Structure 1
Amino acid sequence: ISYIENTPVHSWAYRKAYENIKNLNAYLLQEKVGLSFIFNFLLEEMGKRIDDLEKHVADLMTEAGIENTNEESKVT
């Protein structure tokens, strides 16, 4: 692409195609960043919910009088 920037482009079609490619590249980069933020947020939320679920299960087991060893609580 830098070759095109430093070379006189004689055709309007080439210039337009180059502009479109630059715009598409910028758009895709922006979308990638946005999706990364959303994905990270969803993973954090899922992790919090799993932690809450584990705590509630442990509380229920305590209420029921069931002992929970570390080996039993590990998910494989």
Structure 2
Amino acid sequence: MCKFTEFMCKGKKLEASRLYRRAAEAYNYAYSISENGDSKSLSVQEKISKEAANRCLAISKIKIIEG
């Protein structure tokens, strides 16, 4: 899965540049082309890319303070 590794590296570089939403997008692309797991669980590639995307989305949330 050369493309999977390519998207994961791209996401890692974007995350290092603090571009979290773009990194999450790259991780989601990697998730969509990853190898499928069995019907009950995710494959290792799916798990890694999903965790990375969730991490980036959690960091990028903007808090709005009412007041």
Question: Is the structural similarity TM-score above 0.5?
Answer: no
TM-score of the aligned structures, taking structure 1 as reference length: 0.33
Structure having the higher Rg = 1
Greater relative CO (CA pairs within 8 A, separation 6+): 2
Q: Report the TM-score when normalising by structure 2.
A: 0.37
